[in-house]
Every structure is written in C-alpha cells, then in structure tokens.
Chains A and B, each alone.
Chain A
C-alpha cells in the first residue's frame, strides 16, 4: 500500500477513487434535497453565483445533482462489473471442468467474444432487456464477462500444471473441487486487479449508454444522464455539460491510474530492492607509455553500475596484431562487459572508466564523433554468442552485411551487395548469392554465425571481438567456426579477442590466455603453458576440472567448490580466497597485484 502511494500516478489514482467512494456514500444525504428541489424561478440557467454549474429544466441545481449522481453511477458500475466478473470467472473455469470437446467449444466462444467490442454487446443486450438501468447493467456486464473469462482461462491453465494441482488430481479430487479449492484461490489476485480496471471501464461504458439515452431513465439520474441533458443545451449554456463531463473523466482517470499502479505494485513485489551506494572512486594508476604496435591497449578499465555493482575492476589488456587472445572466466566474471566496453556498447546506466582505451593506435574516447564511428564500425568486428538472435529477422542477410559498406565506406548499393556476397562466399556460406537474398530464419545457426563473421569482414577489421561465439552451436559446427576464426585472423592480420567460459576451446584456438575472476585479471599466460604451467590456483582448478580421455567417467566431474562473489560483493582481499586451498590470512586482507611471473606471463596471487 505504501508503495502504491509513493508514485504520483498511484497517489492520484488512490485519491481520486477514494474521493469517488466518499462522494457515493456522503453525496445523497448531504445534497439530496438540494438536487431534487424544484425552483420555477430559475429554470435552465447557466452558471450563476447561486448555481455554479447552472440549473436544469425544473430549476434544480446541477452541481448538487452531479454530487448526488455519483452514488448511482458507481453502484451501477459495481453491479455490472460483479455480474460480468461472476459470469466471466464461471465461463473461464468451465473448460477445466468440462470434457475436452465442450472445453474447446467454450474456449472458442470466449475467444470470439473477447474480440467483440463491448459497446456492441451492451447494445445488443439492451435491445432485449429494454431501455433503462437494468438493461444497461446486464449489457455492460455481458461486455465485461469475456475479458474475465479469458483471463481466468489463461491463469487457470498456468496453475493447472503446478505440482499441487497434479497431486490433487492424482489423489482423485474431483475437477470441480480442484478448480474451487486449488486453482481459483491461487489466481485470485490478478482477477481482483482486473476487477479494478474493469470497474473503471464499466463506469465509462454505463456513462456512455446513459449519454446515448439507452441507460438510466428519468426520474433517476447518473452522470451520463446529466450529460445527456446538459449536452442538449451546450450551445446556450456550456457550463451545464461541464460538471457531469468532469465527473466522468475524473472517475475514468482515477480508476485507470489506480488499476495501473496496483498492477505495477503487484509486478514489482517480487523484484529485489536496489541499494543506493555509490561505486568507489578509481585509484590513480601509473599508465606508462602507450604501446604503438598494439591493436588494443586497455589500462585500468572499470565498468560500474549504480548501486555499487562493479562487474569489471581495473582490467588491463594488450593485444598485438595477429594475436588470438582468449578471455576466460565463469559467467559473471565480467568478460562480456569487458567486450562491450571495448566496443563502446555498455548499456546505460553503466559507466565506463579507463586510464587508457586505445584501438589501432588512437584513443577511442578522444576521437571526433564521425571518426570514432568509422573506426569502430570498420576496424572492430563483433561476434555475439547467439547467432539466432544476432541477425535482424526483418531484414535480408545480404542487406545487413551491405549496409556497413554503404554507411562507412561510401560504396554504392550494387557494390556493397556484391561485396556482401563475396564475403559470404569467403566464410564458406554455400550458395552465397541465394543466401544473401534470404531472411535469417532461412539459415542454420552455423550459417548465421558465418554471416555475422562475414559482416565483420565487410570493413577492414583490425580486432575481432568474439563473445562466446560457439556456445550456442552444436559441437561439429563449433569446430567449423573456430577454424574459420583462425583462418580469418591469419589472413587479415587482425587480432582476435575470444571470450569463453570453456577453457578447452580457448586452449585449442588461442595463442595467449587471460583468466578473469570477479572482474579482475588473475593470470595471463601463453597457451602452451596452460596445461602444465598455470600458476594461479583458480586457473589450475579450471584446467583440472576439464575431463579428458583418462577421466574416470563413473566419478562426478571435478568442480571448484564455492561460488564466485557477485559484482556488488567483491571482498577487499583476493576474490578467490574463499574458494582457494592455499589461502592465508594475507589473501583475505590484501588484494594481490597482477605482477610478472617468469617470462611472458603475469599472475595475481600471493602464494606463487
């Protein structure tokens, strides 16, 4: 409830609806007499001091009548919604109780009725039931029912698979009892939510019916009827239509805002509360001279999100041309955000800080916008994990490749299309000209990943960032893609940053391995030393957890006990200390720096 009042919309909705309810209760006793008092001296007046909204054809005060009419408007709306909700829930519950054929008939009719405008149903019913409040209530109730029926059906179907329902079924509980005892109580909340929204809709629909003269008939009056009377005089005295119109509008807005806010509150109840701590300020680090030959040089890269979540912490990485570097770590270690930061693709509100972020010898952050776009668009190729999702389903494959050349290299459409086919052929997509004219869903997963790689080859890539490019593919296709990446790197001289959680794949493809843990690099080593010479206990554990030919398959696979700390809770000391067999008091207290160890490798560990 407090959450409901915190948002302006929720607050406004609550206030408006409360005011309506108070008016419905208190209105008639207070203003009832005034609303009925006939005054032949002041008939059909506009706005005056005595009658701010004017008077009707018997001289009755319209303001008082509006205040009194609230009760009837709300009561009728409530009645209609109750009628509709009851009928709808019964109708929606029927398919769960009826035999199959009957169930399908009911479901089909409900689906047909839902698509039918409520006002038409209401008018149909009103013709049969006759003009007046009763006909309108039955009519609007009829119009409300299909929505409830559909909702009940959907919800009941979602609950029907639950274990406790299956259990009750197996115990031989009758279908009707399962429905009333097990299903309905569990779907009550969304139904009640829908009731609020339907109530607002019913109020407006009833007002509309009365306004057309098909609803409440004199001498009774609701807001719609008052509007009907006022509308006839709108040319002479517009004020008389104002009161009832405002009342209807406010009621509609109130119920709608409240319904929305309730729905939001219900949806958010499961979401965890966020913390508001600010991420720590970065410590200045000595950067040293930039490496002129490196394709990519990253120094002290940090990616932080509000709430103290810092998935990447002071990462440094240098990649030389032609080199294939594997970035390894468990999910959540910050690998993919590192890739996103290099590509300038960290989503808002993530914040990227780095001492240095140089691509092809230029600091990406200092380039003018146009040049940066061209550099990142042509020199950097990105390959994502899921090839099924990486191509736009609405556009042809060839077009998606060609646009790189059109946008960044000023190619004509024909040139670009020809180059796209050439690139597809280059990555060995069979029948490239045909494939280029197809949509992504007509290609297999492996072919789509080839197409994405071909897209990266449209420009002159210096760095290919491949983020788990083979994880979503089956094993034989994986090998093809790995081979393709190796060939592409060899022939273009581009470097590749290959991100993976699979140390076996990395060992097969890469020249150098960078191991990440909890947002930091813990070890960097040449791939040849991976199997025998890994120094960091985490790297060793990763290698040890790999099954090989000698692994006894009857035993469970080795795994590293414990869990990686989440990015908001990384400890001050070594993040791996809690899972490390070698850990000492120093490891828990003080973070080991990444320092050279032997030749061509670096390790962050106190115990090596």
Chain B
C-alpha cells in the first residue's frame, strides 16, 4: 500500500458523496414542492368542506338573501370547482388571499402586517431555548456520566420532565399573574418595546428548553462514550477543549434537528401565547377569525402557517445535509 504508486482512488469517495448530496437536495426540494401543493389544495378545500353554505354560516341566519348571494358571487363560489381552484392558486401566487368577510381588508395585508410579529417571537424564543438548553444539557451529561451524581440526574430528569409537560399557555398565564400583575415589572399585554417581548418569549421558550436540554444531554453522553473522546482524554486535553471542540460539534446535529422541528411547533404554539398577551401576530388573528367565522382570513393564515412549517422543515433538512454529510444516508 505504502511506497507503491497509487491510483487516484482516495478522491473517489468524495466525488460520490457530492453526487449523492446533489440528489439529496433535489429530493428534498421536490418533496417540499409536493407538500406545498397539497397544502394549497387543502386550504382551498377547507372552505368547501364546511357543511352548508359558509357565507350563510358566517353572516348568520338573519342576513338578507341578496347579501349572501352577492358575497357568494364575489367569492366565486358558484363557479365550477376546478376553475375556483385555479383562480385561488393564481391569487395566492400574486399575494391575493381574498378579503375578510367582516372588515373587508385584503387578507394579504393582514398577513403582511402581522407575520413579522409572530416570526420575531418564535425565532427569539428558539434562539433563547438553544442558548440555554445546549450548555445545560452538556453540563448535566458531564456531571452524570456513567451514573455518577445520581441526585443531579434525578433533579435534571424530573425538572425537564415537568417543564415539558406544562403547556405554554399556562406558563404565560403564570408569568402574567406574577411578573405583570403581581410585581408589575413587565407589561401584561400588547407589543410595546423590548420589555414587552420578555414574558412572551419566556412562556414560549421554557418547554423547548427542557426538551432540547434532554436531547443535548443524551447526545453528550453518547459522545462521551466514543473512542475518539476516549482518545482525546488519553491525550489529556484540558476540559474546555475536550468538551467544546471534541464533544459539542458532534452533538449539534441531533440537537439542531430537534431545535428546527421545535421552531415549527413553536410557531403554532405561539397562537396561545399571542392570545394571552394580546400580541398583534397571526395567532391572535386566526383565533378571532375562527370564532367569528371569517373564513377567508382563517384560510389565508392557516396556509401561511403551513407554508412556514414546510419551509422550516426544508431548511433544517438542508442545513443538516451540509453540517453532517452522513445524515443523508440515514434519511428514510
């Protein structure tokens, strides 16, 4: 093997990997496009699946027949279903999601004005959760490696288990009761300056923090048992170097996967938190639109939520493909 002239074989695996990666990106993008198409059809179908006449349901039994008929015509509900679907899709791609039954505002404008508030909240909460949870999980893993410090392990497991089990809307109510109403440190509702972000972000971040910390601990424990960490220990590297250079990068793949999936869950969970804090985001608006049977708004917002989830999942997949070249081999 050594000394003798070698064919350029060692490069071949790298090229093969590159090919696989290209196919991987393409497959993921195709999957995304198909899901998006299904989502579009589903959101279109939503109004048509409502039993009875949605316009009548929305306007109430007392509304004059002419008004209902006019609304139906404006919505194009009396046209053939296929041409309705086509014009719906054309509209969506132009940014035209219809108009609110109640206020007459274009749904596109409602979404444009409210989406940034929802995204900002969810992104900040994800960042906070990752920043707290990853070091917390690593610390717990190092302290409880091979079953030492059973007390810490029990405390960590039960604390995170409890934190995961309590839903975000209870955290928001508790935080409002204590820190806004009781102590008066933060505003109880509304969006006004950086201070108003604190409680909503906290409410959103607690459960994901607990969940990510658990993943981070499990991943770190797995890493600590590997041969290369054994070898790094045999080299007597100082603790920070061992943990941050050798262990941390290898735990991030799984942690970020969960973090990314949590982001899409967070965006949905923010509906409840927005409701508690009267946060001017999409979540508050969708609750109002569903209770008031303002179907075009509900339809548009659900479509946007769904699209965000799909985009986040696609980005997480692609990011992982870049971070960890072996992850594409594990895909289902």
Contact = CB atoms under 8 A, between A and B. Distances in A.
Nearest to B149: A348
A416 interface: no
B236 A211 contact: no
Contacts of B35: 112
B195 interface: no
B228 A390 contact: yes
B311 to A, nearest CB: 12
A231 B166 contact: no
Contact of B158 (A8, A212, A390): A8
A167 to B, nearest CB: 27
Given A112-B35, A131-B290, A234-B177, A476 B1 contact: yes
A117 B161 contact: no
Nearest to A350: B146
Interface string A365-379: 000000011101100
Contacts of A385: 227
| Residue in A123, A234, A380, A391 with the greatest tally of chain B CB atoms within 10 Å | A123
B173 A214 contact: no
Interface in B157-174: 157-158, 161-162, 164-167, 169-170, 173-174
Nearest to B42: A124
Contacts of B249: 394-395
A252 B166 CA distance: 6
Contact of B272 (A130, A208, A252): A208
Contacts of A372: 236
A31 B313 CA distance: 48
B19 interface: no
B166 to A, nearest CB: 5
B271 A248 contact: no
A115 B1 contact: no
Contacts of A373: 236, 238
Contact of B157 (A9, A108, A208, A390): A9
Given A116-B309, A214-B290, A382 B231 contact: yes
Contacts of A495: none
A343 B250 CA distance: 24
Q: Tell me what chain B mostly uses at the interface: helix, strand, loop, or mixed.
A: helix
B178 to A, nearest CB: 9
Nearest to B174: A245
A211 B173 CA distance: 11
Given A131-B290, A231-B173, A390-B227, A407 B238 contact: yes
B106 interface: no
A127 B290 contact: yes
Given A442-B14, A446-B1, A245 B173 contact: yes
A373 B234 CA distance: 9
A443 B275 CA distance: 55
Interface of B: 1-3, 6, 10, 13-14, 31, 35, 38, 42, 46, 49-51, 145-148, 154, 157-158, 161-162, 164-167, 169-170, 173-174, 176-177, 181-182, 188, 226-238, 241, 245-246, 249-250, 261, 264-265, 267-269, 271-272, 275-276, 286-287, 290-291, 295, 298, 302, 305-306, 309, 313, 325-326, 332
**9 closest cross-chain pairs (CB), A and B:** A377-B236, A117-B268, A256-B165, A394-B249, A389-B227, A348-B146, A382-B234, A373-B236, A392-B228
Given A256-B165, A347-B146, 9 more contacts: A8-B154, A115-B264, A204-B167, A214-B287, A234-B181, A241-B177, A255-B165, A348-B145, A393-B326
